[in-house]
């Protein structure tokens, strides 16, 4: 029996990496999915070629998570096309360049906070209004182990993911009696496109020593599908008693 039969999900940042794997898993579990991203080309390929034959219906939406009107359009498009929204997966995210606070410029801070925290908050605000009327709905926020510990990334990324986890707990508890659940996943290291424009070799020696030193304790890299499996569980009714939680999915890295 498919875990997400007849559900309607919105997945942001769905054209690459973890978001793409979540979209694929949700569709295979019978969910109808609106996949949103900035990349029209990659979304179209997913919908017309790669995932066209999956059991769930796929709808694409070009949306920038830093733009409130595009977030609102994304949600109303899902509602109009599918008639309801059951699941929001806030997955779109960007890395910083591992800057500690003294080296952080305003632009980097603003970009990272906008994509990783402010966009998810706006999408949550909008779907929660729908969920309150429906008296049901589930949110899965893709945070990071950088949202639980201090030095898995730079100051901006770390702050944004800590903020997302706080938002997750507040929302999960506040609406617990309204049929709404809100959880986060804290993935460890997963090879995706998130650092594609960044050359790790060019990091200053001090950053390598302070931040990258901890990578030696990581037992292994994960696959996007290993994060998606947990997202399916959190989005499904099987996790009905899981709320306001952060599920760490890191192969044991932070257990060290």
Ligand X SMILES: NC(=O)c1ccc[n+]([C@@H]2O[C@H](COP(=O)([O-])OP(=O)(O)OC[C@H]3O[C@@H](n4cnc5c(N)ncnc54)[C@H](O)[C@@H]3O)[C@@H](O)[C@H]2O)c1
Output the six-digit token pair for 41. Answer: 């080309």
- Applying CB under 6 A, among 32, 91, 158, 171 the residue interacting with ligand X is 91
The answer to whether 183 contacts ligand X (rule: CB under 6 A) is: no
HSE, CB side, 13 Å, CA atoms: give it for residue 208: 7
Phi, psi dihedrals of residue 211, rounded to the nearest 5°: -100, -50
CB-CB contact of 2 with 29 (8 Å): yes
Question: Of these, 29, 37, 86, 99, which contacts ligand X (CB under 6 A)?
Answer: 37
Instruction: Return d(Cα 46, Cα 51) in angstroms, integer.
Output: 5
Is residue 192 involved in binding ligand X (CB under 6 A)? yes
Is 174 annotated in the active site?
Answer: no
User: If residue 127 lies in a helix (H) or strand (E), which one and from where to where?
Assistant: helix 119-134
Q: How far apart are CA 78 and CA 14, in angstroms?
A: 14
Can residue 151 be called a binding residue for ligand X (CB under 6 A)? no
| Interface with ligand X: number of residues (CB under 6 A) | 26
**Binding of ligand X by 15 (CB under 6 A):** yes
**231, 89 in Cβ contact below 8 A?**
yes
Q: Does 96 bind ligand X (CB under 6 A)?
A: no
Cα three-residue angle 248-173-75, rounded to 5 degrees: 80
The CB-of-136 to ligand X minimum distance in angstroms stands at: 25
Q: Which is nearer to ligand X, 178 or 208 (CB)?
A: 208
Which one of 8, 13, 34, 207 is in contact with ligand X (CB under 6 A)?
Answer: 13
Piece of the chain touching ligand X by CB under 6 A; list 14-22, 97-105, 199-207, 210-218: 14-22
Which of 54, 157, 173, 174 is labelled catalytic?
A: 157
Q: Which residue, among 208, 91, 220, has the nearest Cα to 151 in the 3D structure? A: 208
Site for ligand X in 207-226 (CB under 6 A): none
Which residues are catalytic, by number?
A: 157
Q: Which residues bind ligand X (CB under 6 A)?
A: 12-13, 15-19, 37-39, 64-66, 91-94, 115, 142, 144, 187, 189-190, 192-194
């Amino acid at each position: 029996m498919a875990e997400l039969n007849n559900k309607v999900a919105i997945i942001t940042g769905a054209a690459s990496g973890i978001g793409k794997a979540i979209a694929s898993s949700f569709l295979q579990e019978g969910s109808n999915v609106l996949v949103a991203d900035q990349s029209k080309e990659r979304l179209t390929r997913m919908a017309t070629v790669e995932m066209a034959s999956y059991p769930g219906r796929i709808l694409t939406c070009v949306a920038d998570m830093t733009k409130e009107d595009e977030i609102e359009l994304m949600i109303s498009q899902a509602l109009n096309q599918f008639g309801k929204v059951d699941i929001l997966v806030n997955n779109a995210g960007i890395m910083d360049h591992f800057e500690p606070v003294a080296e952080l410029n305003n632009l980097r801070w603003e970009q990272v906070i906008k994509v990783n925290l402010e966009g998810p908050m706006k999408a949550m605000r909008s779907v929660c209004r729908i969920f309150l009327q429906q008296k049901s709905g589930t949110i899965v926020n893709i945070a990071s182990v950088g949202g639980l510990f201090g030095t898995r990334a730079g100051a901006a990324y770390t702050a944004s993911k800590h903020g997302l986890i706080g938002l997750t707990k507040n929302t999960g508890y506040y609406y617990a009696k309204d049929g709404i659940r809100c959880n986060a996943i804290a993935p460890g290291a997963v090879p995706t496109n998130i650092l594609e424009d960044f050359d790790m070799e060019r990091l200053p020696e001090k950053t390598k020593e302070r931040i990258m030193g901890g990578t030696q304790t990581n037992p292994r890299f994960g696959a996007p599908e290993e994060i998606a499996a947990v997202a399916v569980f959190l989005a499904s009714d099987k996790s009905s008693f899981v709320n306001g939680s952060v599920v760490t999915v890191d192969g044991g890295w932070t257990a060290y």
